[in-house]
Structure 1
Amino acid sequence: MLTKKGKYGLKALVDLARLDPGETAFITEIATRNNIPKKFLDAILLELRNAGVLKSKKGPGGGYSLSRPASQIRIGHVIRTLDGPLAPIRCASRTAYEICDDCNDPDTCEVRRSMTVVRDAMADILDTMTLEDFVNNPDMTPARPATPIEAGSKDPVVKRVI
């Protein structure tokens, strides 16, 4: 699940992506426009700056701006920077793997194998999605085939959760 930190970070990045080239915005302005607590936003923007997503300038005409074009900022990178690994559970993570206390064999664990599939699906989407997509495509619902239930099948065995 995306945390408030991740959500606020994405909202702030969208705000900055809508600025004219060369324009900057102060934290107070971003926080006010997006209903984000300023103190929380301070910490979020600092993390994004340290990760190379943002740049900042002090003094008159200062503030924050994107460090590169929105088309080059991947949403997966932003979420990992702010919220950590995309995997729903630690044992399914590529970057923060930890074996579960109650697991006898991670290689045969059904929960781990299933959550690895979930992790891969999320990463496939978020690592190809850019900040530019957020700004220019408000309806980013991915095209997908109808599940058997949506297509009218009465067989509960073919039910698929997406």
Structure 2
Amino acid sequence: MQLTSFTDYGLRALIFMATLPAGQLTSISEVTDIYGVSRNHMVKIINQLSRTGYVDAVRGKNGGIRLGKPASQIVVGHVVRQMEPLQLVDCTECLITPSCRLKKALNEAVKRFIEELDNYTLADLVDTNQPLYKLLLTERPQISS
């Protein structure tokens, strides 16, 4: 199974925000610069993450974005469920649909995949991961405001 870039970059944005000190604001521009993704795409991603409560978007002159809840409360499987279209096949116009067992097998595989992701929180991905902190916070080029 392959996640869409929407979900992939959503998870990456959450990972970056989780490496920042609790409550610290960052910007969509900073996230797009770090991962080299288009600003328009990231705005849509952050919008979805904000609607689902994973990101807190603060408006105004001193605004920005930050995690909407502690990293230990953000379950990776839950994020994927809310961002990813989990239907692997479209059987609406297939001749063998009435007797096909493939859809059931694929649905079971997706279910198990997501259940495995339910075993991980955002904190599991970032806590004590010093190489990640080094890459995201010290080795990358500094972005000018």
TM-score (norm 1): 0.69
Question: Given the superposition, is the C-alpha separation of residues 137 and 22 from structure 1 closer, same or farther in structure 2, using an over 3 Å criterion?
Answer: closer
Q: Structure 1's 44 and 134: CA in aligned 2 closer, same or farther, altered over 3 A?
A: same
- Which residues in structure 2 correspond to 1:80-99 (within 5 Å)? 80-85=81-86, 87-89=87-89
Query: Do the aligned residues in 1 keep the contact of 2:23 with 2:67 (CA within 8 Å)?
Result: no
What is the CA RMSD across the aligned residues, in angstroms? 2.1
Offset of 1:104 from its aligned partner?
Answer: 4.4
Structure 2 match to 1:46: 47
Aligned AA for 1:39? N
Contact 2:76-2:117 at 8 Å conserved across structures: yes
User: Hey, what does 1:101 align to over in structure 2?
Assistant: 94
The answer to which structure has the higher helix fraction is 2
- Indicate the residue corresponding to 1:71 in structure 2: 72
1:1-54 CA-partner distances (Å, limit 9, x unpaired):
211111111111101011101201011111112212111101110011011111
Structure 1, unpaired ranges of 5+: 92-98, 139-162
Amino acid across the alignment from 2:94: D
Counterparts of 1:25-40 in structure 2 under 5 Å?
25-40=26-41
Q: Identify the match of residue 114 of structure 2 among 118, 123, 126.
A: 123
Choose 1 or 2 for highest CA Rg.
1
Please say if residues 81 and 114 of structure 2, whose CA atoms lie closer than 8 Å, have aligned partners that are also in contact: no
Tell me how many residue pairs correspond in the alignment.
Answer: 128
Q: Do residues 112 (structure 1) and 103 (structure 2) align?
A: yes
Partners of 1:18 and 1:4 lie apart in 2 by 21
Give the distance between the partners of 2:125 and 2:93, measured in 1 at CA: 35
AA of the residue aligned to 2:48: E
Please tell me the residue identity of whatever aligns with 1:89. Answer: V
Secondary structure of the residue that 1:20 maps to in structure 2? Answer: coil
The Cα shift of 1:78 comes to 1.7
Per-residue deviation at 1:75?
A: 1.5
The SS at the match of 2:114 is helix
TM-score of the two chains, using structure 2 as the length reference: 0.76
Partner of 1:158: none
**For 1:13, what is the secondary structure of its paired residue?**
helix
> Aligned residues: percent identity?
28
Q: Which runs of 5+ in 2 are unaligned?
A: 130-145
